[in-house]
Structure 1
Amino acid sequence: MLLALIIASEIGFWVLLGAGLAARYLLRWRRVSTVLLVCVPLIDVVLLVATVIDLRRGAEPEWGHGLAALYIGFSVAFGKDMIRWADQRFAHRFAGGPPPWKPPKYGRDKLVYEWKAWGRAALGWAVAALLLGAGYLLVGDHDRAAPLLAWAAKPAVPMLIWLIFWPVAETVFPSRPKDQQA
């Protein structure tokens, strides 16, 4: 059931976001748009409450609980950026807004961008780890709850790869404009 709720949360995120942007830019319903967009983070709250209820009822901690924590953590870290990304594209396409912002391609701006993006991911990981730790304490039975703590380590390899191949690589081998790459 938890997996279905995670999938429904992701679908709900995009449906509420799309409806909020359509109300704002196509229908010019500013208040309705604001209400819909304010409801987007409530999806994470629903998922969190459902996960806590499931664990409190004595459910065996499993990968669905870990995935829910990671989903919420990364949603907290990247949710605002995803909404901004969609808003810029929707405004440009349907309301004559300026072209969407693009990440810098080189220079100090690119370096700062890469470190900030990785920092957001680290924040998401930290939020997920805190939620998993809280779930561990909530279950109470340390042997039964051990899979929750194991989930806290799952993002380690992707995070390390991201760190090495983007922020560190950009720090050591900075990108340059094509005319300066000789």
Structure 2
Amino acid sequence: MNIIVIGIIACEIGFWAVLGAGLGARYLLRLRKLSSILLLCVPLLDLLLLGLITWDLVVNGATAEFAHGLGAVYLGFTVAFGHQIIGRADGWFAHRFAGGPEPVKPPKSGPAHIRYEWSQWARMLVCAVIASAVIGLIVLLVGDATRTAELTGWIGRVWLVTGIWLVGWPVWATVSGGGRDSDESAAPPSIQETR
């Protein structure tokens, strides 16, 4: 198995293990300082993956493969969406183990749904920018277009996904009006309304 694939899998497992340990320390053991230290370690996993990708291409002299680009996009995703994921997990842990309020679910309709879809797409935009910047930096460090061709192909892929996300979710939600507001009745019209 490719060392970068192993690195991505290890970082994903590490993310959930460190997050679980941090939240467990906070809500089950009541050790807030230890919890904060553990949660601050989450971004270190991203730095380790970035270091592994850079080492493999620059120092080890590897030719970029699918996994190298996937690793760069994974980095962008964890930076853009990681804080939100941690916040949701924290809310669930607080509700389940510390008597906190039930976590708020994303809105399903109305103007709040439209705002939510645009905010999620903005996170994807940040992901695409970060992934493109990481790829560009690594391509510059390697300095060999033939060895980094697969890597640069990921820039187009991540921007294609970003464009599809834009049209399929926030633009669609905006054009469709965000769906029916939750307080509106879904009952069929009365006989007098149909006359």
If the length of structure 2 is used for normalisation, what is the TM-score? 0.89
Moved more, 170-179 or 29-38: 170-179
For the aligned residues, what is the CA RMSD? Answer: 1.4
- CA offsets 1:111-166 (integer angstroms, 9 cap, x no match): 11110100100110110011111111111112222221101111234323322221
Which of 87, 92, 97 is the equivalent residue of 2:95?
Answer: 92
User: Is 2:155 the counterpart of 1:152?
Assistant: yes
CA contact (8 A) 2:139 2:145 kept: yes
For 1:48 and 1:161, the matched residues in 2 are separated by 27
Cα displacement (A) at 1:9 = 0.1
For 1:103 and 1:62, the matched residues in 2 are separated by 36
Aligned runs of 1:1-182 on 2, under 5 Å? 1-57=3-59, 58-174=61-177, 175-177=179-181, 179=184
- CA offsets 1:56-114 (integer angstroms, 9 cap, x no match): 12111111211110000011100000000100001100110011021122222211111
CA contact (8 A) 2:77 2:124 kept: yes
For 1:177 and 1:171, the matched residues in 2 are separated by 13
Moved more, 91-100 or 169-178: 169-178
For 1:105 and 1:50, the matched residues in 2 are separated by 40
Answer 1 or 2: which has greater helix percent: 1
For 1:155 and 1:70, the matched residues in 2 are separated by 7
For 2:160 and 2:33, the matched residues in 1 are separated by 43
| Structure 2, gaps ≥5 residues long | 189-195
| Structure 1, gaps ≥5 residues long | none
Q: Which amino acid aligns with 2:110?
A: G
For 2:166 and 2:58, the matched residues in 1 are separated by 36
If the length of structure 1 is used for normalisation, what is the TM-score? 0.95
SS state at 1:116 partner: helix
What is the match of residue 191 of structure 2?
Answer: none
For 2:10 and 2:111, the matched residues in 1 are separated by 40
SS state at 1:98 partner: coil
Q: Which amino acid aligns with 2:134?
A: L
